[in-house]
Structure 1
Amino acid sequence: MVQAYSLYEGSFSVDKSRKFVPFDPSVDDPKDRPGSMFIHVHPFLIKTTSGIVLCDTGLGHTDDRCVLKLHNNIRKLGYEPDDVKYVLMSHLHKDHAGGMVSMESGSPRIAFPEAEYIVQRGEWEDAYSGISASYRTEIFDVVQRSGNLVLVEGEGQVNAEISYSHNGGHTAHHQAFHICSNGQHYFFGGDVLPEPEEIVHNYVAKYDFDGRRSKELRQVYWEAGAPAGWIFLFYHSKGITLGRGQQRPDGSYKLIEAK
């Protein structure tokens, strides 16, 4: 049984300003937002035997009480933010890292006080280097002061169930995660494999640090994971958010929804 869940934060349009503007397709017309990309944001919660795991933290949008939507979505599943033991950060762009902290108390505090935040050291250093406006260092300052930050390098194990691997591609120090628990193998590729369509229509994306590497890695992950029954978590999906491979009669694999 799959024990991973989308913590869907919403749909957004993004233009050259790199601002994420909420977009409701039932009300808003994409023609009114020329030059925009339209993306969904899906942090993920995974129940493991070693505790609750989060894969990235969204934009950090809140309700009218300044409560993170991420927290509300976690509570809808029957858990509390304090139940989260690991926050696995693929990278630190603002649409993935905004929910690392909370303003509910009126001042910025770490959003998951019982969790270790797993970040590649090179990504952390790049976030402070000024190379991209997609990093919000005021958030990272709070995380650093908390004592919950765990900087890792290359590849290794967080615990017996969670492994990480530097893969580059989207950012120079982007990382992917494998979470193996309760008989399931979950794969979180972050923005190297953010949408299921990229498995079929693979391409070099202009927004990647190294688009060719991302393109190659997507193929590698699919060819390894589809036959092995991995459950792929798609952070920016507009359709299937959790998918796995199903073998066709000709021996190839197609993506189906994981249940």
Structure 2
Amino acid sequence: MYTRRNVLQGAAALAAMGAGLGTFDAALAKAPFQNFQAPGFYRLRLGRFEVTALSDGTIALPLPELYTNTTRKHAQSSLAAVFQETPTQVSVNAFLVNSGDRLVLIDTGTGAYLGPTLGKLTENLRAAGYHPDQIDDIILTHVHTDHSGGLSAAGKRRFANATVRVNRREFDFWLKTPPAERPATAPAQHFTEAHESLQPYVDAGRIETFPDNGEVLPGIGSILRGGHTPGHSSIVIEDGGQKLVFWGDITHGDILQFDEPGVAIEFDVDQKKAVETRAVALEEAAREKYMVAGAHIAFPGIGHVRRDETNFDWVPLNYFAG
């Protein structure tokens, strides 16, 4: 079975090989190639909130091999039809919410766990004008490594003044489930990495849990969207007649699972439940026309969901220079 760790590590190794092969051409160029992007952040206002999308990076994943309830050939042709190659570059996004009196980080990226093309959240946070010590609260949509791996490094908290907030059942599943009771769809390595990332905050007394569909902080709510993980939760802010739902992992990518919500992915702890949850989330977003921020939709991952002739479609937010 594929796990996030072995798939992402393999992709990272291929990326490193590719980078090495490009060295000779760059050395002979009249002007050397500049193999980096602009800092990965994007800002928008939503009523009293300022929201900053933060890129943790991207990684090439063999999505047709990871999607389930479909065939590899069909998934690959669906991606190719919209000019997405296999492996496919997949974004890992986090989001910073500034309410004027608190800085709230939603998810923390991968840290050092998943290769050199990821783990860029902290540098992009600084580029966006903030320091990790300024973060008051961190809300996790769930505890998979690409969302919680940036919390700690070498047993130390990266966000010294932050309190981590996570759904109660999500916390209990990853930190309290005895090995004999862990489902096969949740690899042991995920539990190890969850412990490494969260335990420094537990030891410091800086973990708070919230109930299903409960308020996380004043003005910030949650919606239980279980299936991908047991306590997977979307996070909600609303002001001035506008609403933004931080989706977490409702979809992986912005093509196949919009056209075919019944397609699951190997990373889902409960694939049947994840499919049911996605159908509800897509329908609600299209009906209510609120904005969505997705963790694995092409950066900055913010936009709308609309209905079309093949179920649903992702509509990226129109770029605004501010």
Note whether the superposition's TM-score is higher than 0.5. yes
Q: How does 1:69-148 map to 2 (within 5 A)?
A: 69-101=120-152, 103=153, 108-128=155-175, 129=177, 130=179, 131=182, 132=187, 133-135=189-191, 136=193, 137-148=195-206
TM-score computed with the length of structure 1 as normaliser: 0.76
Q: Counterpart in 2 of 1:56? A: 107
Once the two structures are TM-superposed, the CA of residue 220 in structure 1 deviates from its matched residue by: 1.9
Distance 1:245 1:95 in 2: 24
Partner SS for 2:149: helix
- Are 2:57 and 1:10 aligned? yes
Q: Deviations over 1:54-107 (max 9, x none)?
A: 221111139xxxxx6322111111122233222111111111111112x4xxx5
Q: Counterpart in 2 of 1:203? A: 262
Given residue 172 of structure 2, which amino acid in structure 1 is its aligned partner? E
Aligned length: 231
Determine which structure has greater relative contact order: mean sequence separation of CA pairs < 8 Å that are 6+ residues apart, divided by chain length. Answer: 2
- Are 2:242 and 1:184 aligned? yes
Note the residue ranges of structure 2 that are not aligned, 5 or more in a row.
Answer: 1-43, 67-84, 114-118
Q: Which moved more, 1:171-180 or 1:219-228?
A: 219-228
TM-score computed with the length of structure 2 as normaliser: 0.62
Distance 1:241 1:204, change over 3 A: same
- Are 2:78 and 1:47 aligned? no
Asked whether the equivalents of residues 74 and 80 of structure 1 are also in contact (C-alpha less than 8 Å), the reply is: yes
**Counterpart selection for 2:275 from 215, 225, 228:** 215
Distance 1:79 1:240 in 2: 18
Q: Counterpart in 2 of 1:236? A: 296
- Are 2:223 and 1:165 aligned? yes
Structure 1 residue runs of 4+, over 6 Å off? none
Asked whether the equivalents of residues 169 and 231 of structure 2 are also in contact (C-alpha less than 8 Å), the reply is: yes
Distance 2:258 2:101 in 1: 31
Distance 2:155 2:226 in 1: 30
Which has the higher Rg, Structure 1 or Structure 2? 2
Partner SS for 2:197: helix
Percentage of pairs with the same residue: 25
Once the two structures are TM-superposed, the CA of residue 167 in structure 1 deviates from its matched residue by: 2.3
